[in-house]
Amino acid sequence: MIAPAMGKKDLETPRALTHFDARGSARMVDVGAKPATRRVAVASGRIVMQPATFSLISTGGAKKGDVLGVARVAAIQAAKRTPDLIPLAHPIAITRVGVEFILQKESSSVRIVATVECRGQTGVEMEALTAAAAGLLTVYDMVKAVDRGMTLTDIRLEEKRGGKSGVYRRPAASAR
């Protein structure tokens, strides 16, 4: 991945928080005047588990069934339901949700990468992050009977494209 495009302005002037009005009260941002553009966001995360739990997932031996298949559906569903979960998120007509799981045997972990797209007036970062979190929570739920010590970690935005702020890509040094 490429480092984020940051100009001199980004380093000198912090951006104003848009979800608060002049009095400090929470508000939903008005995006009505913004042009509709193609928006893409990619988020990722990991769940770390015992090697035996990893084996159950990777071989399809979990009692509840296809752990990653169910987690994929949960992630997609979560992206679509983000405004119901995140109070100030806008309802967005999502055009695509892609979910990939990467099995990492050496660390007994599963990495999720969720990609969300739309053509709209605001970005889909929250939808991608919500998808990643819900996918990992579903993995936890499906195998918690054998490993309650699993850890969800590194849930983060990897990339966003579209809109006035342009492109953000997490620097390669912090990608896993």
Tokens 């009260």 -> residue: 25
- Residue 147: active-site member: no
> Which one of the listed residues 30, 141, 147, 154 is annotated catalytic?
141
Give whole-number Cα distances, 2 to 38, 92, 148, 161, in Å: 20, 27, 36, 13
DSSP string of 101-143, one letter each residue: EEEEGGGTEEEEEEEEEEEESS--HHHHHHHHHHHHHHHHHHH
Residues designated catalytic:
141
